[in-house]
């Protein structure tokens, strides 16, 4: 049950820290610092005040704060020794269910990162596919320390913005959600294509997993966006549109094996809070797509 911003604005220091102290990993002092900046007109302003408290703290405090974070896919995940929010976030990406080989890869990369920078590798896992997380170690290991310190705090901002958006309700919620939608236009009949079954897959280096399924309505759209109300995980995806059944149902003569049977669009998502509209324009002999709006 989220607490309301009004309640927080009129809460005692003790109540305030009790409500928000867990958002920043093992660091209730961040909530303490924000308490003094009340009242907050928006939930986003509350989040900014907490982040500012971190940025304003001495360098050693910031480093210590980062060190308080668990390793990604690390021993803490296996041993159950993480803040509750981290447990749920890492589990969402399956980081608590890695094969031994994958676990070793993460251990090796985490160790390299820790050696290089002196604090653990931090990333907002709810904004990433597992492949995107793995791919991000190499460029980040190449950064200089100042850049990487800033980057780690930027990831913290994303992590805590999401936690706050779930913990507090009120005006001016921070923007944490992306949008993925599609639309099917049938240029054989000159109409939106109704009743097309669509599958959405996350495509990783080791396979692909279906993460959504829908059927187009009479406007050629799905009744709800394929993903909405949460960040889009950065990564690679495939949309598969079952067009053969659609055209056969409408009585169009197709070859036994049609030229376009299952239309496939492979695309990438780079911005977790972005708006991705991915239409399909098609006939039994052609397909086209583009980033729409």
Residues classed as catalytic:
69
- The answer to whether 195 contacts a copy of itself (rule: CB under 8 A) is no
Question: Distance (Å, rounded) from C-alpha 109 to C-alpha 225?
Answer: 36
> Which pair of structure tokens corresponds to residue 274?
């972005």
Interaction between residue 123 and a copy of itself (CB under 8 A)? no
Q: How many residues bind a copy of itself (CB under 8 A)?
A: 44
CA torsion sign, 271 to 123 to 171 to 30? negative
Contact between 85 and a copy of itself (CB under 8 A)? no
Asked if residue 232 binds a copy of itself (CB under 8 A), the reply is: no
For position 189 contacting a copy of itself by CB under 8 A, the verdict is yes
Two structure tokens written together for 123: 């990333």
As measured in angstroms, the least distance from the Cβ of 120 to a copy of itself is 22
For residue 258, state whether it binds a copy of itself (rule: CB under 8 A): yes
Q: Which of 192, 212, 230, 273 binds a copy of itself (CB under 8 A)?
A: 192
Q: Is 290 in the site for a copy of itself (CB under 8 A)?
A: yes
Q: How far is the CB of 108 from a copy of itself (least distance, A)?
A: 22
State in angstroms the smallest separation of the CB of 207 from a copy of itself. 11
Q: Which of 133, 30, 1 is nearest to 16 (CA)?
A: 30
With CB under 8 A as the contact rule, the residue among 21, 22, 28, 261 that binds a copy of itself is 261
Residues in region 26-45 near a copy of itself by CB under 8 A: none
- Is residue 237 within 8 Å of residue 269, measured between CB atoms? yes
The CA–CA distances, whole Å, from 46 to 5, 62, 165 equal 9, 19, 11
Q: Is 19 in the site for a copy of itself (CB under 8 A)?
A: no
Interface residue with a copy of itself, options 190, 205, 206, 223 (CB under 8 A): 190
Residue identified by tokens 């900046």 is 37
Structure tokens that stand for 96 in this block: 């608590």
Residue 274: name the closest of 201, 202, 203, 180 by CA: 180
How far is 267 from 158, CA to CA, in rounded Å? 24
From residue 269, alpha-carbon distances to 11, 12, 231, 272 in Å are: 40, 43, 11, 7
Residue numbers 125-144 binding a copy of itself by CB under 8 A: 132
Determine if 80 is a binding residue for a copy of itself (CB under 8 A): no
User: What is the binding site for a copy of itself (CB under 8 A)?
Assistant: 132, 183, 185, 187-192, 219-220, 234-236, 238, 255-271, 281, 283-293
């Amino acid at each position: 049950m989220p607490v309301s911003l009004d309640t927080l604005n009129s809460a005692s220091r003790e109540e305030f820290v009790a409500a928000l102290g867990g958002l920043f990993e093992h660091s209730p002092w961040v909530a303490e610092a924000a308490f003094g900046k009340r009242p907050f007109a928006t939930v986003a302003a509350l989040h900014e005040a907490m982040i500012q408290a971190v940025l304003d703290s001495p360098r050693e405090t910031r480093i210590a704060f980062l060190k308080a974070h668990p390793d990604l896919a690390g021993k803490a995940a296996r041993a159950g020794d993480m803040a509750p929010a981290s447990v749920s976030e890492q589990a969402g990406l399956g980081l608590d269910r890695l094969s031994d080989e994958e676990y070793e890869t993460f251990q090796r990369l985490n160790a390299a990162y820790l050696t290089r920078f002196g604090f653990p590798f931090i990333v907002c896992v709810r904004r990433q596919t597992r492949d995107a997380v793995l791919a991000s170690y190499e460029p980040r290991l190449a950064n200089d320390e100042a850049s990487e310190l800033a980057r780690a705090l930027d990831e913290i901002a994303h992590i805590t913005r999401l936690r706050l958006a779930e913990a507090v309700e009120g005006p001016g919620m921070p923007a944490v959600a992306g949008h993925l939608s599609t639309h099917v236009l049938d240029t054989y009949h000159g109409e939106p294509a109704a009743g097309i079954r669509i599958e959405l897959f996350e495509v990783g280096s080791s396979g692909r997993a279906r993460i959504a399924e829908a059927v187009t309505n009479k406007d050629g759209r799905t009744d709800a966006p394929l993903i909405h109300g949460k960040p889009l995980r950065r990564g690679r995806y495939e949309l598969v549109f079952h067009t053969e059944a659609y055209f056969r149902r409408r009585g169009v003569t197709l070859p036994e094996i049609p030229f376009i049977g299952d239309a496939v669009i492979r695309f990438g998502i780079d911005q977790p809070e972005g708006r991705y509209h991915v239409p399909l324009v098609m006939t039994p002999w052609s397909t086209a797509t583009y980033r729409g709006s």
